[in-house]
Amino acid sequence: MKEENIKTTARILLGAGLITAGIGHLTFARKPFQAQVPDWVPLKKDDTVVYSGFVEIALGTALVLAPKKYEDLIGKVAAGLFVGVFPGNISQYTHKRSAFGLNTDNKRLLRLFFQPALVYWALKSTQKP
């Protein structure tokens, strides 16, 4: 398979994942996502989850549908989002908040290592050749 096809598939899968997560923020996973909102965020936890859901849907849609000339920029924005929400993952770990099956310290700690992988995925699947 050509590298370009692999990158396109990876970008679309990442976009679809963001859209799904965003829909989850607004509907079926709203409460579990609140477990990841750090206490220092100055908004209500539910508001933060809803707003971030809209951002994820918009960004996922952009990853899937944006013209090729914008892919690199959108990938950097997606990577920035993953960096920006990382404190929420840390907060979930440090405050021992169970959600999404992350009900042990080991599982919550393992989840922290997934975030850099998402940053890499966003950048690698959208970078120019």
Question: What confidence tens digit (pLDDT) does each residue in 14-29 have?
Answer: 999 999 999 999 999 9
Q: How far lies 33's CA from each of 51, 57, 110, in Å?
A: 12, 15, 17
Q: How far lies 9's CA from each of 2, 6, 96, in Å?
A: 11, 5, 35
Residue type, 93: Y
* Model pLDDT, residue 104: 96
Ranges of the chain whose pLDDT falls below 70: none
Q: How far lies 55's CA from each of 15, 20, 67, in Å?
A: 12, 12, 19
In this prediction the pTM is 0.94
* Model pLDDT, residue 1: 73
- Segments of 1-129 assigned E as strands: none
Q: Which domain holds residue 106?
A: 1-126
Q: How far lies 53's CA from each of 7, 8, 19, 69, 72, in Å?
A: 25, 23, 8, 25, 22
Q: How many domains, in total, are found in the chain? A: 1
